[in-house]
Chains A and B, each alone.
Chain A
Amino acid sequence: MTQMNGCDDFCGCLSDYLDGEMDEKCRRIIEEHLESCDTCSTMYETLKTTVLACAQGLPAEIPEDVREGLRTYLRTHCKKECV
């Protein structure tokens, strides 16, 4: 992991880097590379924007009929049983 030979290796680590899933040494190597390589830096920015868009772009919504259907279903089935 600390041996990274080219941009493809760096690109392969950017997801882990974004998640903070790497040790200090690897993190520093990536950061130095990102400062000097426009291509990997652009790749990293697009990846970061993607994760942000996914995190905020899919709100948790449940239609009223699904909510009501669940409530009725559970009341019918759960109340018959003891846990």
Chain B
Amino acid sequence: MTDERETIRRVLDGDYDAFETFVEKYQARIYRHICKMVPDRQQAQDLLQETFLSAYRGLGGFTGASSFSTWLFKIATNTALMFLRKHQPECIEYDDHLENVKKSDVVPSATAFVSTPLEMLLSVEGRKKIEEAIDSLPVLYRSVLILRDVEGFSIEEVSQITETSVAAVKSRLHRARHAVREALTSYYGEKRFSGNRRVS
């Protein structure tokens, strides 16, 4: 953070190269986050550019009340949400339709999922399934899950980034995780079942 404060001071003194160190450090993470909110790659690229330009223009207003990364992800999230509100409002209007989880949601195939080795979960096929499961979530749930579980922000930071209450973040995260869990559990359960069927 001290290094980042020094870099910010240099940018504010007119050193553009110092800003490029921020771009270099955060561009891949910001791009991943935006792509998960706005899947069209061309639009995501435009929003990435807009995010960093907004950050450059707004750097003088960065107070240090949050970490720089929290501040930057807030800009990226707002930029993507503004785009969606304008071009795909239906994506965010029907926000709350994920069901809450119940005990009965634990299916017998759950053991197939938990016993799947990590390298298989993270294989090319495994990653595709994780992406599909996340992409099928409503955008407000998806963004919370990405910020918490992929980017590693705390619940409090996710609350700041998304400008929603801690309670709302927890609720969305809970439902999003269980929806992804259900999708992956079903997939690995079916995979195990079809594998066994082929053997017999």
Contacts and interface: CB of A to CB of B under 8 A. Distances in A.
Contacts of B29: 60
Interface in A10-64: 10-12, 15-16, 19, 21, 39-40, 42-43, 45-47, 49-58, 60-62
Contacts of A82: 14
A60 B106 CA distance: 31
B114 A83 contact: no
A81 B58 CA distance: 12
Contacts of A83: 11-12, 14, 56-57, 59-60
Q: How large is the interface on A (under 10, 10 to 19, 20 to 34, 35 or more residues)?
A: 35 or more
Interface of B: 11-12, 14, 16, 19-20, 23, 27-29, 31-32, 36, 41, 45, 48-49, 52-53, 56-57, 59-60, 100-103, 105-106, 110-111, 113-114, 116, 118, 121-122, 126-127, 130-131, 134, 145-146, 148-150, 152, 155, 170, 173-174, 177-178, 180-181, 184-185
